[in-house]
Amino acid sequence: MGLEAKLQQDGFITTTIDAVVAWARKSSVWPMPMGISCCAIEMIAAADPKYDIARFGSEVMRFTPRQCDLMIVAGTVTYKMAQVVRRIYDQMPEPKWVIAMGACTSSGGMYRSYSVVQGIDQFLPVDVYTAGCPPRPENLLNALMTIQEKIGKTKARDFQNRTLADLELAQN
């Protein structure tokens, strides 16, 4: 069973580059923990031994955007903070994904008010929305698995038609 059995049989396997790259990417999604308010506590809980985000290869919470490919926006995003969130997102290298964790990030939540952005999809391309206030760690893990599914389906050509301008934006 598994890789060892395969290697004993033939000594080689055939696959496509796309499949290998997608598999590698989805098995090591490094999150940028954008913990802005109480959702961050549940995000931290998802990293603890009980829920153990390491099971999905995402335990490497990097506090520098340069090393991340998944931004978990966990918490209420105010208009003032939106500028910061966007700047950090722009600093992450392509390809990158975004989880909008919790009601506030997804829709403004209970903060129907002048200071809170009513959904971060107004300025970020969101891949997965997570319901809950705050979502339980299982829910975040489910969002992560959905992201993994999405990454697993990516092919190299998905990123080929990016213009140079986009990539430069990503590096600034």
Partner 1 sequence: MDLKELIVEKVKEKFGSALEEVTDFRDDLSLTIKKDQIVALGKFLKEDPDLEFIMCRDITAIDWATRKKRFTAVYHVYSFKLNYTLRLKANIDDDPPTIQTVTSVWRSADWYERETFDMYGIKFINHPDLRRMYMPEGFEYHPLRKDFPVLGIPGSLPLPKRAE
171 binds partner 1 (CB under 8 A): no
Kindly tell me which residue out of 25, 30, 56, 86 binds partner 1, with binding defined by CB under 8 A. Answer: 86
Residue with tokens 């549940």: 42
114 binds partner 1 (CB under 8 A): yes
Kindly tell me which residue out of 51, 60, 82, 127 binds partner 1, with binding defined by CB under 8 A. Answer: 82
117 binds partner 1 (CB under 8 A): yes
166 binds partner 1 (CB under 8 A): yes
Separation between Cα atoms, residue 27 and residue 91, nearest integer Å: 22
Kindly tell me which residue out of 13, 131, 145, 169 binds partner 1, with binding defined by CB under 8 A. Answer: 169
Single out the residue of 140, 158, 156 nearest to residue 148, CA to CA.
140
Describe the chain by its helix, strand, coil percentages, rounded to 5. Answer: 50, 10, 40
Element (H, E) at 41: helix 39-47
Tell me which residues touch partner 1 (CB under 8 A): 79-80, 82-83, 86-87, 112-115, 117, 122-125, 166, 169
